[in-house]
């Protein structure tokens, strides 16, 4: 249904006003998710909060979507019309507990090694929720037909859920997707991505099992008074396999890929609770490798090296090898039509603005670090817009000419199912003071939890999403332009999914957990 330009603008204004009227509530919601700070695949309370809130607003919600206990899929219909999707993320990062204060300290009652929101995904989710509910209100007031879809995406730090939702068809009936993230690198701040989308991401867990240590030696002394010979302890065991795998892969890292291109390799050791050294070899040890590359060919090269290393490490240490994919994501597809439409809405809203309360919080942090407080403590870019084409030009200055993609985020999987735009709004970041060096990491984490400093991000992003959704609902030619571009780009560069349709998410692996018991919280 075509709506007049006047009605479209009225609907955008209605959505923006809803966000203004509910900012105090949205801020409180953000503090709730930020304080829960649950790690990947274990975001039980965060997901439950979203499910309950969406149901209060009339959404039909499927809990545990695609077989993921902390995922969900929500739908609200207002008659026949386009189906638009945005999403929440809410996983936090172990080892980054920080209180919403102006000094370095973990949240009350928790170790500094407990999880915390670093990006922060808490603001990502509440920003998109603000845009969703503002749009819903405007659709109701102005009788705009259409469907709103909202997914809960756990384990984003490991590209965990979007690849699974995609394989299970949760994005198949969507006409357009808006992907938001608080900014994390310049020049991608208060803008939309243009040509250079995020690249490939692979993550795999290698498990070494020493289930038959007694067969390491030819045989045991038949006269031994101990029926089960302790000589089995001489089997190298799973820890030896893991360390062999780790050291071999790290020593070969420079040989895996070119020294340019913005790729990285990360690792984590997963624990099964085996912390007692008995007169037995370690039975199981697991190591996760995750690598980010500009393209699939480079990712496959790293995979071949790691698979070889794992096979030989297992053989050397008398272990069996199990392999488990965590994620395997394709580089993203761009959509200029959606990027231009969203940036027009972002321009109408304007960049975040930091008031006196926000500046005072930043100044307190500066004093705590022995830095002379400044009148304009935030990065200039946080309060400025930059056109997508100009951000693209500046981004390309850091990249070799052959490289098409840079950095990594799992929104890329969505871009293969429907026209998708990726945009960034500033999160609060302090301007370096000459001679004082970089601010420590806890500073941005804290600023992401202090309402006065993070609320502007939520307001701007929410209004931008709502305006973009209203335009797509009211102007069929805008949606058609995005669809045609998506189909053309897909035809020009086919890129099938990298995992099987029946891929099962690795929710059963021993990921770090975070639980509540009555009033006591621990990690």
Question: How far apart (Å, rounded) are the C-alpha atoms in residues 350 and 132?
Answer: 19
Q: Where are the alpha helices (DSSP H) in 296-427?
A: 296-316, 336-349, 356-368, 388-396
Instruction: Report the percent of the chain where pLDDT is more than 70.
Output: 95
Q: Cβ contacts of residue 64 below 8 Å, gap of 6+?
A: 70, 71, 72
| Mean pLDDT for the chain overall | 93
Domain with CATH 3.40.630.10 in the chain: 5-199+331-522
Range with the poorest average pLDDT among 195-209, 236-250, 274-288, 394-408: 274-288
Residue that has been written with the tokens 């509530």 in this structure: 25
Q: Which DSSP string corresponds to 215-241?
A: GSSS---TT-SSSS-GGGGGS-HHHHH
Range 268-282 average pLDDT: 81
Closest to 513 in 3D by CA, of 335, 288, 271: 271
Q: 361 or 277: whose pLDDT is higher? A: 361
Class of domain 203-220+229-329: alpha beta
Q: Cβ contacts of residue 28 below 8 Å, gap of 6+?
A: none
Containing H/E element for 8?
helix 5-21
Domain with CATH 3.30.70.360 in the chain: 203-220+229-329
For the domain spanning 5-199+331-522, the CATH number is 3.40.630.10
The answer to whether 331 and 200 are in contact (CB under 8 A) is yes
Range 134-158 average pLDDT: 97
The answer to whether 254 and 297 are in contact (CB under 8 A) is no
Q: What is the model's pLDDT at position 513?
A: 81
Q: 482 or 281: whose pLDDT is higher? A: 482
Containing H/E element for 265?
strand 264-270
Summarised one tens digit per residue, pLDDT across range 455-505 is: 999 999 999 999 999 999 999 999 999 999 999 999 999 999 999 999 999
Residue 475 — φ and ψ, nearest 5°?
Answer: -125, 95
Classified as helix, coil or strand, 465 is helix
Question: How far apart (Å, rounded) are the C-alpha atoms in residues 265 and 235?
Answer: 30
Question: How far apart (Å, rounded) are the C-alpha atoms in residues 17 and 245?
Answer: 56
The answer to whether 462 and 19 are in contact (CB under 8 A) is yes
Burial degree of 147 (CB within 10 A; 0-12, 13-18, 19+) = buried
| Position 517 pLDDT exceeds 60 | no
Summarised one tens digit per residue, pLDDT across range 424-459 is: 999 999 999 888 788 999 999 999 999 999 999 999
Q: How far apart are the first and last CA of the chain?
A: 52
Question: How far apart (Å, rounded) are the C-alpha atoms in residues 427 and 429?
Answer: 6
């Amino acid at each position: 249904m075509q709506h007049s330009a006047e009605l479209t603008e009225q609907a955008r204004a209605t959505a923006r006003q809803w966000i203004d009227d509910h900012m105090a509530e949205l801020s409180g919601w953000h503090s709730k998710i930020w304080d829960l700070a649950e790690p990947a695949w274990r975001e039980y309370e965060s997901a439950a909060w979203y499910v309950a809130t969406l149901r209060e607003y009339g959404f039909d919600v499927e809990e545990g979507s695609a077989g993921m206990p902390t995922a969900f899929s929500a739908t609200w219909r207002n008659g026949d019309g386009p189906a638009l999707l945005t999403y929440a993320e809410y996983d936090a990062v172990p080892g980054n507990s920080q209180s919403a204060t102006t000094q370095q300290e973990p949240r009350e009652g928790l170790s500094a090694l407990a999880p915390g929101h670093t990006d922060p995904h808490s603001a990502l989710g509440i920003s998109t929720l603000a845009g969703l509910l503002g749009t819903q209100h405007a659709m109701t007031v102005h009788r705009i037909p259409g469907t709103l879809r909202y997914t809960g995406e756990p384990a984003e730090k490991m590209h965990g859920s979007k690849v699974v939702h995609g394989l299970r068809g949760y994005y198949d009936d969507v006409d357009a997707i808006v992907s938001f993230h608080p900014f994390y690198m310049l020049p991608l701040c208060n803008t939309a991505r243009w040509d250079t989308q995020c690249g490939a991401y692979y993550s795999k867990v290698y498990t070494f099992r020493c289930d038959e240590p007694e067969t390491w030696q030819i045989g045991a002394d038949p006269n031994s008074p101990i029926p089960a010979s302790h000589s089995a302890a001489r089997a190298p065991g799973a820890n030896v396999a893991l360390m062999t795998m780790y050291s071999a892969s790290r020593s070969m890292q420079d040989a895996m890929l070119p020294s340019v291109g913005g790729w990285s390799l990360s690792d984590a050791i997963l624990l099964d609770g085996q912390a007692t050294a008995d007169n037995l070899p370690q039975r199981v040890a697991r190591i996760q490798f995750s690598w980010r590359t500009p393209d699939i060919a480079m990712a496959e090269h790293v995979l071949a090296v790691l698979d070889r290393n794992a096979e030989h490490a297992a053989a050397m240490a008398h272990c069996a090898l199990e392999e488990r994919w965590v994620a395997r994501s394709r580089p993203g597809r761009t959509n200029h039509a959606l990027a231009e439409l969203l940036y027009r809405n972002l321009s109408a809203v304007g960049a975040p603005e930091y008031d006196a309360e926000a500046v005072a919080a930043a100044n307190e942090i500066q004093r705590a670090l022995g830095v002379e407080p400044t009148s304009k403590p935030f990065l200039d870019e946080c309060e400025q817009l930059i056109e997508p084409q100009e951000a693209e030009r500046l981004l390309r200055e850091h990249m070799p000419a052959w490289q098409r993609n840079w950095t990594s985020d799992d929104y890329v999987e969505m871009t293969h199912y429907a026209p998708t735009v990726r945009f960034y709004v500033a999160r609060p970041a302090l301007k370096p003071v000459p001679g004082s060096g970089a601010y420590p990491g806890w500073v941005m984490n804290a600023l992401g939890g202090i309402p006065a400093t993070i609320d502007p991000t939520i307001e701007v992003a929410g209004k931008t999403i709502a305006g973009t959704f209203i335009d797509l609902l009211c102007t069929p030619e805008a949606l058609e332009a995005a669809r045609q571009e998506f189909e053309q780009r897909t035809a020009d560069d086919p890129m099938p999914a990298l995992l099987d349709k029946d891929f099962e998410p690795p929710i059963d692996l021993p990921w770090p957990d975070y639980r509540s018991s009555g009033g006591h919280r621990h990690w």
